Structure 1
Amino acid sequence: MNSRSLLAAAALFFGCLSARASDQWLPVREISLEVRAGSPLDFSSFLPNETINAGHRLIAGPKGQLAFAEAPEKPVRMLCASLAWSPASGGFPDHDGADRYARQLALHGYNIARLHFTDASLMFGRQKDFDFDPETLDRIHYLLAALKRNGIHWIMDGLSSPRGAYGGYEDRWDANGNLKLLIHLDQVAFAHWKTLQEKFLARVNPYTGIAPIRDDALALVILANENGIEFDGIVHDRPGKPPYDPVLAAPFNHWLAKRYTSTEALAKAWGDLEDDERLEAASVKLPADRYADSPRMRDLQAFIVDVERPSAARMSKVLRDLGYRGLISTYNNWPTVQTGLSRRDLDAVTMNTYHDWVGGYSPGSALLQASSLADSANYMRMVGAARWLGKPFIVSEYDHLFWNRYRYEAGLVMPAYAALQGWDVLCRHGHGPIALAYGEPFPHKKAMLPYAIALDPVARAGETLAALVYRRGDVATSRITIPFAVRGEEDLGEDMQAREPEQLTDLALVGRIGLKRSDPSRLDIGVAQPRTQASADILAEFRDIGILPTGNATDVESGRYESDTGEIVLQRAAGQLRVSTPSTEAAAFSSLREPIDLGILRIERADGNALVALSALDTPASLADSRRFLLIFATDAQNTGMVFRDSEEKVIESFGRLPVLIRKGEVDLTLARTAGKWKLSPVALDGTLRPAIEIGKGPISFRLSNDTPDGPTTYFLLELED
């Protein structure tokens, strides 16, 4: 072996040392992951799903929040299960599996599910257009019925795959094909999309007796996933290829001709026309660099808005003509000023967002290994600023991705702030949010992977906490609303990527934010246009006029943010997020230099970064009075035999295999409660209650280790007796 090979081998060896330290990584022993009914992880008794019928159909209430038709004034929070199956992850389950899976979702606290890439699954291996695989179609229909029987509503994409329902393609889950762009511009492509809705959504489901598009369970249709013109261009960026598809040139020239009556008028506005560019000859070029600011780019943004808004209206009409009564959305990512204008007429706003995005599963894929608290939860704030006030807001995808070691933060960051913002649906993205067992014989189930939260104990602990913090309503909605004034096209600048400034979106850490069509001169409170203000000045004004409590401890300069409710505190420099409510107290921390006192729960010491949460399980849920508590302790998890190319574990070489390993951890906890007798028992990942590991009388204080006699876990049950 030559010296270069020796160095490469040494790098691989040292890069995987942390994953091989057996004394620090504990193998998960569970095989079954089906939560036992009546166990501490069965939330169905206090988070029941009602029978779905005409009265229990989801609508936009008068205040612009999701509600049931029979009680339009009462907002509801929907915890969403992402069902993005493919053959690599096992595909849609058979009838028995669907029954078990839907029941498990209900036990976990989910009340809505998003079906994603159904078009790809239906057309997998098919050679003719719209020749759906009959077994897959039957399984999807049966799953929809099983979800509905368990009170779980549906969100569905009108189009997920850029291959649509065209036959003869084997890359349906890849970013190939330009159907998402062409449906805006080409009648044949639009007709293909329309036929897809007719043949799938409008086809009668034999297990419900009604077509999904007319079913009360269908709450939302996303016309096409991530189909914004600019984002689609970024997805298809390739070296040496023009940034914008030539198919845009003719309609762009037509649009310019209507706006500018002559080449001279256009040249005066832009100042950079080339010699061969003539408006009369329709030879004006698309921008050569999407990241170069220019008047040409400003007009391209205005053109895109003028294409995307009527495109969404035309697609929406197709669904309405087929009998659909539910909500419609599209353009569910890319929180730019341009896309905000394209979304303003939609029934609801849907957005996708990720922290520490990963591009794929191949060796060499990389992430940053950064904490989301280090940038004050920017991935949450970005989508918060894309919301239009007065409309339902749905996070159709989010994740803090595996193998980031700080991903325990997601279980508190997103649910807590989603609740504070009053968002309507929260959907952590993955092949599926749960699995029925470890060891399923499918390529994407043989190890934890990005975009696959079901096998990850850390992500699952976060989803468990989300059911309490978000859906149960443990965290309250903000009492203040901070509108970001929007005038219209005049808000577009020369930067295609322009979005709401981060020094203003940090207002989302204090109160509700969102876009509002408004004349800035008539804006009583909020963020004016142009965006020349700073959040510290706005908050100071709020204090002066009494909107923000005088005791609010927010200090923008130091990176400390307290919600107006007083329940959430983010400390950027310390890498900590704290939540203190009557029903749940929790902290996510990358360091613990001193104890964290949350009220009832005090975290005295920890041997590493983690998420710790205490939630009351009794009804009513009160930490001060309850006798049963779920304690969550999540550190990190990796696969057996994971290999990295670097010591910081940013670049993956191999994802390894099962069993999953949980990083060993300890915390010292004290509760401001006393009891005649108390005991602490581990709860297995399937909800099985294990023998007590701590028993005491009087004051409640103990050292908690996730290294339990029956194997590592993220859950514990604390029980008090008089």
Structure 2
Amino acid sequence: MRYCLLLLSCFVSLGLMSDRLSAQPVVRQADGENWLAYDQSDVLVQPGSALDFSHLIPTGIAGQYGRAIINTQGMLVFSEQPDKAIRVMSCALPMFEFEPQDDAQVIAFAEEIQRAGYMAVRPHWLDLYLMIDAPADFVFNPKRIALFDLFTFELKKRGIYLILDVVSASTMYKSIDHPFNNPHRKTMNKLQMYYDSEYQQHWKQGARILLNHINPHTKVALKDEPQVLYIAARNEPGIGFQMNLALNNKEKNKVYIKGISNHFAQWLKERYRTVGELKIAWADAGEGISDFSDVSINSKQLPLLMDNDYQRYIVDTEQKTYAWMNTYLKNLGIRCPVIDYNNGMSVQCGVTRSVLPMIDMHAYHDHPKGWGVKALLHNNSLVGSSAAMAYRLSGTRQLGAPFGVSEWGNPYFNPYRHEAGLVMGAYGALQNWQMIMQHALPVELSSIQPPRFFRVARDPSLKAAERMATLLFAPNVVKPAKGVVGIKLDENIVGKLGWGRTLPSEITKLALVSQLGIQLPDTDRAKVSTDLILEPQRGATVITLPGAEVANDTEQNTAATGQAIALLRQRGVLGHTNKTDVSKGIYQSDTEELTIDAKRKFLSVNTPTCQGATLAEPGVVASLDHVTMTNEGVAVACLLASLDGQSIAQSQRMLLLVASNSSATDATFSEDGKQVLSFGKLPALIEAAKVKLVFKQAPKGNIQVWALRANGSRSVRCETSQQSHGPLSVTIDQAKLGENITPYFEILTDSAD
């Protein structure tokens, strides 16, 4: 079977937006009686409350089962439990906003992370945090390293692991007085590392001082610490990504562009030996080149033959760079997996990552164009895109290797961001990924600032979505897909697609149905049995924005997808009751637990212990196994989760999450709502939703429904309705809650109280 595939990338293209929106009239998004203030005065989760997810973390200290290794099935496991794959819900913590300032606050912060159900923490920008007001280059600030030591010790006691970046920041372990307003802020040392030995030595020295540091509480150096799950050598370091950022301002970044261009020219000289041979290989693209030094990467769009060599150069250079970094870390004593190149959707990136022991990726839906006031969004629905963020991530997975997502996001102020937790928790589990992490800051000790980009804890919509993801991604909630679809890639196929292009949604959408991943020849991967192997025929351009890679996805060969679905039916992967209908944009997982209908912005999750849906319009109904949910108001995502391990039909204690849009007091936006003009102030505001739940089998005993405060304690009791011998119904009308408005509701029987 052959597929005509327009390769698109991974998200909606923000590059097509215009800054003209700033001239539009200012409106207040959160006007009206349906927007109510949400009390976040106490966000510290009370132990034992319905928002205490600490039971999701295995008891005991981190490292009790040995180091993280990769077993013969290609799964991340602990060395003393080699047959038990790890499933890790993780906390993205930007360390330049590390809140604790003393020992007591550090302990409280670790407790909050535990109660949020996180089994790992990524202390992102750790290299930046430790060097603020440091006494000298490559010497940590003593107060900050002391707080970090206590923090990791407190996490370890609670069974919480670390995912470490050796280098996140451009400061490269230089002493600074401000995290961003410093002379190193705009340097591009991740590019310089490819061609400048000075910066390679800087990286090595930084790695050495970080990983040799001995924690006084544990008496163990980080390099010997089994609490470290895996290490990223750098954050988002790919040549293609970094060069595209550099090319956004050629004059300012000319030294880096010249450095990579010269390095590429030397690579070409070794490959072709003479300029004449190069010009023959490049045809028209070689015109005007009389010496290898004439070669310059001066555009994001290069002639095809030149670009293919550029992408081969990138693969060769990136793989060699990873090899020496990995060797250096192993010689230091590192025994956990070491990864790199954690973003990039192109097939070139996939080839580079074929030498990595595991794959760690980043992806966003509707990533903002800009970081502060005047930033732009499209405000489109993730579910309305058929969960593109999730299925395109699946196209970067490599079968036979562990896969995790250390950054995902559907950032503030997208009005549909409440959908994202259902999407990533459910589809991450369906794909049997081993780790997911929403970016960023999902836990805070106090709420003192209004919602803004990448600050999950301050945003009622995203905090509720994060809790949905946590509940769904937990082991044994959503079944992994039964079927496995492989995507064949080799040098010939990649050459046809274009090295700098990415896989098309015609293929990657199959991740909504079965497990999906690419297969490359001659890689050190575990063997994985597949039900279907597909070979893509063409691809499309990847677009780079600051912080993310995006693309338009305007051409889709639905006939090709339909043919693949038909084959999965013929081979018994999809049962006769499976509702997948490509022509209607409906995809149901082969487990039949997840169903998505993009045209209706509808996603349902239907498992024994968790049932929920996105309900984008009034009147939309989700009829699930044990409950029917009906939207009687604004767009909303709902999840009903058992808290006692029983099925929803038998559970005596459940948590209901009702997530809608949210904003901040006096936050202002352009007339069409796509540009933020001011972030406003506290309190945060919730757009009140109204949802009716009807239990198909009434829980035993008298039912209580409680609205919960931000800390999980009960505030007011909600009404229930049940006619004689009829079904139990619960209507959540957030507007009627007034000052007690909340996304969280506890449902329990008298016997569970």
TM-score strictly above 0.5: yes
2:113 aligns with: 105
Following the alignment from structure 1 to structure 2, what is the Cα–Cα distance between the partners of residues 706 and 338? Answer: 49
Would the aligned equivalents of 2:368 and 2:375 in 1 still touch at CA under 8 Å?
Answer: yes
Q: Quote how far apart the aligned CAs of 1:257 are.
A: 2.2
3-state secondary structure, aligned to 1:176: coil
3-state secondary structure, aligned to 2:373: coil
- 1:56-71 to structure 2, matched below 5 A, reads 56-71=66-81
3-state secondary structure, aligned to 2:600: coil
Would the aligned equivalents of 1:175 and 1:235 in 2 still touch at CA under 8 Å?
Answer: no
Q: Quote how far apart the aligned CAs of 1:233 are.
A: 1.2
3-state secondary structure, aligned to 2:386: coil
1:334 aligns with: 344
Instruction: Please point out which of 280, 294, 300 is paired with 2:304.
Output: 294
Q: Quote how far apart the aligned CAs of 1:416 are.
A: 0.4
Following the alignment from structure 2 to structure 1, what is the Cα–Cα distance between the partners of residues 610 and 303? Answer: 47
Counterpart amino acid of residue 41 in structure 2: I
**Residue 695 to residue 54, structure 1, CA distance change in 2 (3 Å):** closer
Instruction: Please point out which of 693, 706, 709 is paired with 2:734.
Output: 706
Q: Quote how far apart the aligned CAs of 1:85 are.
A: 2.6
1:557 aligns with: 583
Instruction: Please point out which of 14, 22, 37 is paired with 2:47.
Output: 37
**Residue 187 to residue 91, structure 1, CA distance change in 2 (3 Å):** farther
Would the aligned equivalents of 1:630 and 1:718 in 2 still touch at CA under 8 Å?
Answer: yes
Would the aligned equivalents of 2:261 and 2:297 in 1 still touch at CA under 8 Å?
Answer: no
Does the alignment pair 1:433 with 2:436? no
Following the alignment from structure 1 to structure 2, what is the Cα–Cα distance between the partners of residues 46 and 203? Answer: 31
Q: Quote how far apart the aligned CAs of 1:524 are.
A: 7.0
Following the alignment from structure 1 to structure 2, what is the Cα–Cα distance between the partners of residues 517 and 160? Answer: 29
3-state secondary structure, aligned to 2:174: coil
Would the aligned equivalents of 2:483 and 2:530 in 1 still touch at CA under 8 Å?
Answer: no
Would the aligned equivalents of 2:268 and 2:292 in 1 still touch at CA under 8 Å?
Answer: no
- 1:560-709 to structure 2, matched below 5 A, reads 560-619=586-645, 621-644=646-669, 646-674=670-698, 675-696=700-721, 699-707=727-735, 708=737
**Residue 527 to residue 273, structure 1, CA distance change in 2 (3 Å):** closer
Counterpart amino acid of residue 115 in structure 2: L
Q: Quote how far apart the aligned CAs of 1:54 are.
A: 5.0
Per mean C-alpha deviation after superposition, the further-off stretch among 676-685 and 394-403 is 676-685
Following the alignment from structure 2 to structure 1, what is the Cα–Cα distance between the partners of residues 742 and 634? Answer: 16
2:258 aligns with: 246
Q: 1:47-77, CA deviations, whole angstroms, 9 ceiling, x for partnerless residues? A: 4443223524322222112222222111121
Does the alignment pair 1:389 with 2:399? yes
Following the alignment from structure 1 to structure 2, what is the Cα–Cα distance between the partners of residues 703 and 289? Answer: 57
Does the alignment pair 1:506 with 2:509? yes
Following the alignment from structure 2 to structure 1, what is the Cα–Cα distance between the partners of residues 738 and 370? Answer: 37
Instruction: Please point out which of 535, 540, 552 is paired with 2:561.
Output: 535
Counterpart amino acid of residue 558 in structure 1: K
Following the alignment from structure 2 to structure 1, what is the Cα–Cα distance between the partners of residues 21 and 480? Answer: 52
Q: Quote how far apart the aligned CAs of 1:229 are.
A: 0.4
**Residue 248 to residue 10, structure 1, CA distance change in 2 (3 Å):** closer
3-state secondary structure, aligned to 2:599: coil
Would the aligned equivalents of 1:162 and 1:172 in 2 still touch at CA under 8 Å?
Answer: no
Count of aligned residue pairs for this structure pair = 698
- 1:451-530 to structure 2, matched below 5 A, reads 451-488=454-491, 491-493=494-496, 495=498, 497-518=500-521, 525-530=532-537
Q: Quote how far apart the aligned CAs of 1:496 are.
A: 5.5
Q: Quote how far apart the aligned CAs of 1:46 are.
A: 5.1
Following the alignment from structure 2 to structure 1, what is the Cα–Cα distance between the partners of residues 118 and 176? Answer: 36
Q: Quote how far apart the aligned CAs of 1:363 are.
A: 2.2
1:75 aligns with: 85
1:4 aligns with: none
Per mean C-alpha deviation after superposition, the further-off stretch among 48-57 and 418-427 is 48-57
Counterpart amino acid of residue 545 in structure 1: R
Counterpart amino acid of residue 153 in structure 2: A
Would the aligned equivalents of 2:262 and 2:296 in 1 still touch at CA under 8 Å?
Answer: no
Q: 1:438-476, CA deviations, whole angstroms, 9 ceiling, x for partnerless residues? A: 22xxxxxx2111010011121111121222110243111
**Residue 354 to residue 175, structure 1, CA distance change in 2 (3 Å):** farther
2:131 aligns with: 123
Counterpart amino acid of residue 519 in structure 2: K
3-state secondary structure, aligned to 1:102: helix
Instruction: Please point out which of 264, 268, 271 is paired with 1:256.
Output: 268
Does the alignment pair 1:232 with 2:242? yes
TM-score with structure 2 length normalisation? 0.88
3-state secondary structure, aligned to 2:746: strand
The answer for unaligned runs of 5 or more in structure 2 is 1-19, 523-528, 540-556
Does the alignment pair 1:132 with 2:154? no
Would the aligned equivalents of 1:92 and 1:140 in 2 still touch at CA under 8 Å?
Answer: no
Following the alignment from structure 1 to structure 2, what is the Cα–Cα distance between the partners of residues 617 and 362? Answer: 39
Counterpart amino acid of residue 75 in structure 1: A
Q: Quote how far apart the aligned CAs of 1:545 are.
A: 2.3
TM-score with structure 1 length normalisation? 0.92
Q: CA RMSD in A?
A: 2.4
The answer for unaligned runs of 5 or more in structure 1 is 1-6, 440-445
Kindly indicate whether structure 1 or structure 2 has the higher relative contact order, using CA contacts under 8 Å at least 6 residues apart. 2
- 1:354-393 to structure 2, matched below 5 A, reads 354-393=364-403
Per mean C-alpha deviation after superposition, the further-off stretch among 685-694 and 507-516 is 685-694
Would the aligned equivalents of 1:291 and 1:496 in 2 still touch at CA under 8 Å?
Answer: no
Q: Quote how far apart the aligned CAs of 1:274 are.
A: 5.2
Q: Quote how far apart the aligned CAs of 1:20 are.
A: 2.6
Q: Quote how far apart the aligned CAs of 1:26 are.
A: 0.8
Following the alignment from structure 1 to structure 2, what is the Cα–Cα distance between the partners of residues 627 and 33? Answer: 26
3-state secondary structure, aligned to 2:702: strand
Which runs of structure 1 show a deviation greater than 6 angstroms over 4 or more consecutive aligned residues?
Answer: 7-10
Per mean C-alpha deviation after superposition, the further-off stretch among 540-549 and 214-223 is 540-549
Q: Quote how far apart the aligned CAs of 1:310 are.
A: 1.2
Q: 1:82-139, CA deviations, whole angstroms, 9 ceiling, x for partnerless residues? A: 11131xx355542211111111111121101111101111122447421321111111
